[in-house]
Amino acid sequence: MSLKDSELEYLSGFGSYHSTEAIPNTLPIGRNSPQKPAHGLICEKLSGSAFTAPRKENKQTFLYRILPAVVHGKWAVYNGSGQISNHEINGNKAATNQSPTQPDISQIPDQLRWSPFEAEEGKNFVTGMRLVCSGGSPELKNGLAVSIYTATEPMPKRQGFYSADGDMLIVPQQGTLNVQTELGKLVVEPTEIVVIPRGIRFRIDAEVSADTPLRGYIMEIFGPNQFELPDLGVIGSSGCANPRDFKIPVAAYTEDYGTEWEIISKYAQKLFFIRQNHTPFDVVGWHGTHYPYKYDLKMFNAINSVSFDHLDPSIFTVLTCQSPIHGTAIADFVAIPPSMWVVAEDTYRPPWFHRNCMSEFMGLIKGRHGAKSGDGFAPGGASLHSVMSGHGPDAVVHKMATEAPLAPFKTGDNMSFMFESSLFLGVSTWALNVCGKTQDDYNSHWEAIVPTFKPPELFSGESDASTQ
């Protein structure tokens, strides 16, 4: 049945803040995400801009709906004929929608989750790196790549490595890294991170074997900027990651000339090598602002709600690489530290259901993640929620969150993190088809969510009525 324009009501005013409800008293007053929205509805946030975009440019809408948008089956390729062709992301099957400029990368809207990545036998830190997803281009010095690394062997004794592509933020999940760089040495343990800027030569030493492998995550930013601390705005002059807690190595050198060294370069996402008859680690002194550094994530001074509502995860940003658009990042590194108090009252305490204009890659260092039940999201695994693909708590956590008594509690010894980007992140063939860790049933954890919508008797059934 076709509608006539005269039969509809509209809101007026471009750029204004609007609100509307088809059933009276649907919208919560003075808050966004109550524990139990009216009429058994579910709160979902739709982000049309970065969380950190300036307020006058920030675009977001809270929706109170019967079921969240993430409740659906698997994505498939639409061929225009009304038929669907599943692109089958698991097993040794070809991925579709590959990028024309990066044939190993597939741009797909799937919500993806990986079980813990297994160490490959006979690999070291360099040869054990595997690309998971990327966006942009190192050749244009704009974008990022996300990789995992595993190692069962140390790097060869006289071997160094550097990346010409960008700055590498390394998140160890299993195994301590002894990092020797041109500018000095660092010891980096799980729950710490280390950043090795573009061009600095380094090597990873560790006590490693097939029984005690290394495993971790890497976010490499190609540009256009480098990592920096985010502006604190109204938080004030301290909080979050404080500058004094970052540690920079002091000069340390070795004398080794007349013996052969191998130097591997990551250049335009490929590996090259040279040989030379001296160590690259012979710097006796240095001064400047281009240097490696490490940070203990347990030192993060978390800021969170002490009254109501779940705040945007950007409040946990440790480091950011900004794009030319103010407040929008090429890459944010967000860490959820352990042992945080959760005290928000009358609040749906897990992250709300969400569709985001950003891409979100998550990893787990230890413990559990508050929005996931069971062992599906485990330390050493990962998930990727692409631009505007729905995500949020699974069915078990959602039910618990709407029924739990809201007493204050501490989150425990858990630590997760997120690499967030304004770019589309294409997924590598290795991550889709080769690693064997993609969870084929990921969507089913949301499909189990059942509606609890109970409209007032007067409004039962479909309604296009609206009240302002």
Residue type present at position 282: D
Could you say which of 310, 369, 398, 445 is catalytic?
A: 310
Stretch (H or E) spanning 261:
strand 257-267
Could you say which of 391, 398, 420, 445 is catalytic?
A: 391
Q: How many residues does the chain have?
A: 468
CA distance 251 to 231: 30
Examine the residue annotation and report whether 260 is marked as an active-site residue of this protein.
Answer: no
Stretch (H or E) spanning 395:
helix 395-403
Local structure of residue 158 (DSSP, 8 states):
T
CA distance 441 to 447: 10
Could you say which of 44, 87, 220, 385 is catalytic?
A: 385
Q: Whose structure tokens read 């998550």? A: 362
- Whose CA is closest to 193, among 212, 217, 213? 217
Q: What are the CA-CA distances from residue 62 to residues 41, 45, 304, 454 (Å)?
A: 12, 5, 20, 20
Examine the residue annotation and report whether 369 is marked as an active-site residue of this protein.
Answer: no
CA distance 107 to 97: 6
Examine the residue annotation and report whether 391 is marked as an active-site residue of this protein.
Answer: yes
Examine the residue annotation and report whether 87 is marked as an active-site residue of this protein.
Answer: no
Examine the residue annotation and report whether 72 is marked as an active-site residue of this protein.
Answer: no
CA distance 264 to 184: 19
Could you say which of 153, 182, 192, 354 is catalytic?
A: 354
CB-based contact 220:165 (threshold 8 Å): yes
For residue 401, the tally of other CB atoms under 10 A from its CB is 19
For residue 256, the tally of other CB atoms under 10 A from its CB is 14
DSSP per-residue string spanning 140-191: TTEEEEEEEEEESSPPPTTEEEEESS-EEEEEEEES-EEEEETTEEEEE-TT
CB-based contact 196:181 (threshold 8 Å): yes
Could you say which of 192, 360, 369, 398 is catalytic?
A: 360
- Whose CA is closest to 454, among 23, 3, 67, 40? 40
CB-based contact 22:464 (threshold 8 Å): yes
CB-based contact 213:119 (threshold 8 Å): yes
Residues serving a catalytic function are: 310, 354, 360, 385, 391
